[in-house]
Amino acid sequence: MKEQNLALRKAGNTYSQIAAIVHCSKTTVRFHVTGLRCRKENLFEKECQKCGNTFAVPKRRKDKAKFCSIVCTRSNKDEIKRYRDAVFQKTNKCGCGEDKRYLLLAHHINGNHNDNNSDNLELTCFNCHAKRHLRQTETGWVVDYSALTPRHLLSTL
């Protein structure tokens, strides 16, 4: 994406034009073209969770922003819909018996959200899903969606 942005800039396009062609933000174009200067503007560099490209976001969006462009955001949405449908084809309820569709979601067993193979997906309800993301602290288990509960402990929790 950076190369494409630089080439388009060389060809004389404005930041807005480039952003429209590449489907990323103007901020990201400016970041790729001017590089270091962005630090003064309090930008934060991130890696797209879909395609791996580097893009730029204002600091306040630093935790929220996941994708470099509309294309990647859409393709991620399509992918989620595809694997959600796929997991519902295997089963229509959580291991605990919950079968209300609005309470069910697809959990990534190995913690890798890019691994959407059906072997890595498990249909769980919200409660059982929280149980799959526990972290042990001095005072006991706490829910932490960046953590994975050791599988062998699940039946004891």
Please tell me whether residue 51 binds Zn ion under the rule CB under 5 A: yes
Please tell me whether residue 134 binds Zn ion under the rule CB under 5 A: no
Which CB sits closer to Zn ion, 18 or 125?
A: 125
Which CB sits closer to Zn ion, 125 or 134?
A: 125
Query: Which residue in the set 72, 87, 123, 134 belongs to the binding site for Zn ion (CB under 5 A)?
Result: 72
Amino acid at 110: N
Torsions phi, psi for 49 (to 5 deg): -75, -10
Closest approach of Cβ 40 to Zn ion, in Å? 25
* Three-state DSSP string of 48-110: CCCCCCEEEEEHHHCCCCCCCEHHHHHHHHHHHHHHHHHHHHHCCCCCCCCCCHHHEEEEECC
| Residues binding Zn ion (CB under 5 A) | 48, 50-51, 53, 68, 72, 94, 96, 98, 107, 125, 128
